[in-house]
Chains A and B, each alone.
Chain A
Amino acid sequence: MTNTLDHSIRRWASLGAGFDAEPASRDIEVTATSIGTIDLERLLLETARYAPAAARLFIMAATWLHEYGDLVAKHRLKRLIRDELETEHQATLGLLLDAAQQGSHALEFQSIIKLLKPSDHPRPLFERSRRSSKLAEHAHQKASALSRRWKLWCQAFEFKNDALRPASWMMSRHPDLRTRADFRGDLWASILAALRHDQGAGESELRLAALCGGSRAQVRSALRNLEMTGRITAGRRRGANRRAVSLREAA
């Protein structure tokens, strides 16, 4: 688990969150299904799994999301929550997103939070407070109202904006995030993220719709726009009756 926790921290560091860790290099991010960029939505799922082991991870992730929540592809995140996030980690993700949107004029993650349920058993969010009844009681006494709502006790905290690198630093390392910023996390961002990170997403419009979390009609309409602006190519291969979609390098 430590390796995975460290890996999550290094990826957040690569996105500009302040940790005493070497940022993940682009090489580390290359997997069978990615072309060398961070899968932000899966990183959120991983953070929900590992943040209970490290308070700073939780606080820095919330700070980053408060500042750059626009970059999260919301449709795809909802799909991944449904298909990949274990039930026991859903409350942690709910609390993380809810904490991140506090103080924002528009509640950035409200539509996602509606999918998530509080913990079945009230308890401290952080593992080290679960180790002794005294520390659990301390966590309960100090718990914020928000964390009590999610039945995962943690203290209220201030966002650590001074521990975030500027957007220009992050964008220079991850140019694909520029497009996400332009789309403000809308369906277009989810389509591009699915094509980039989800195996076989471009095989057909139907599969793409399933993996990006939109309806087929929404996706077809969005694809027309993405093709027009040169971000994707779409077409039938000889002999095929399905329209395949692929990402252009610059997308």
Chain B
Amino acid sequence: MRIDAPPDEWSRRKIIVGHYGRLRVFAASRLDLIAMKVVAERDQDIDALMAMRVRADDVQFVRSYLDTLVRKSTNRNEINDARQLLDSLEIHDSD
């Protein structure tokens, strides 16, 4: 896993999946998941982004997230590619 990928404070936004005995299972929030999929930008991530019907507020969050990556060690080309992908996505209205 890339250590730069999880957005700051993702653990505050994590959501509970369930309790399995003494084990509590969490998942990344929708916003964090979208952000990480945009930066990964693999074919299967783009499929997932389409299925998640990205909204304007999601895009705003991802833009801020990409700005934070500039301050980390993330490759500039990767960030630019992610911005280009973000601009290519169809934006859906809030449901």
Contact = CB atoms under 8 A, between A and B. Distances in A.
Contacts of B90: 131-132
A242 B28 CA distance: 65
B73 interface: no
Interface stretch (A23-31, A53-61, A224-232): A53-61
B47 A155 contact: no
Nearest to B49: A128
Given A132-B90, A155-B42, A157-B42, A54 B47 contact: yes
State the main secondary structure of chain B at its contact with A. Answer: helix
Interface of B: 41-44, 46-47, 50, 81, 84-85, 87-88, 90
A126 interface: yes
Interface of A: 54-56, 58-59, 125-126, 128-129, 131-132, 134-135, 137-139, 142, 154-155, 157
A123 to B, nearest CB: 14
Given A126-B43, A126-B47, A134-B87, 13 more contacts: A55-B43, A55-B44, A55-B46, A55-B47, A59-B44, A128-B50, A132-B90, A134-B88, A137-B88, A142-B41, A142-B81, A154-B43, A155-B43
Most buried by B among A132, A135, A139: A135
Contact of B43 (A131, A134, A137, A157): A157
15 contacts: A54-B47, A55-B46, A55-B47, A56-B44, A59-B43, A128-B46, A129-B46, A131-B90, A134-B87, A134-B88, A135-B88, A137-B88, A138-B84, A138-B88, A157-B42
Contacts of B42: 55, 155, 157
Nearest to B44: A55
A22 B87 CA distance: 35
B77 to A, nearest CB: 11
B47 A135 contact: no
